[in-house]
Amino acid sequence: MYSSRSFPLTEGEFNYLLPVLNKRLHQSSLGFWFIANDVLDLEDMLNRLKGYYDKYDELENMVSYRCYKDKSLIHFRESIGASA
């Protein structure tokens, strides 16, 4: 079963991740997106994105899963105290 999911990013997040994850990032008239094939892809992206927010602590339990389930980075941003 094909289970790729797209996650909306801010322009700053997109630009920060672009050099490393360029094959998984997409830009359209609707905004900026990250494509994850599974929760491990998403967790990798979230760990990289912690650098953008200068927050290097471990992610709280289940943050990656909740983001993947809800197709949103809201749980990640809340866990690190970021606003989008």
Burial readout 40-56 (b: 16 or more C-beta within 10 A, e: otherwise): ebbbebbeebbebeeee
Amino acid at 41: D
- Site of tokens 């990032």: 25
- Tens of pLDDT, residues 44-54: 999 999 999 99
**Which domain range does residue 75 map to?**
5-80
How confident is the model at residue 2, as a pLDDT? 54
Residue 60 has pLDDT above 90, yes or no: no
- Site of tokens 């943050």: 63
Number of structural domains the chain divides into: 1
Where would I find the H helices in the chain? Answer: 11-21, 39-52, 63-70, 74-80
How confident is the model at residue 78, as a pLDDT? 94
d(C-alpha 27, C-alpha 14), whole Å = 9
How confident is the model at residue 1, as a pLDDT? 42
- The pTM of the full predicted model, rounded to 2 decimals, is 0.89
Residue 84 has pLDDT above 60, yes or no: no
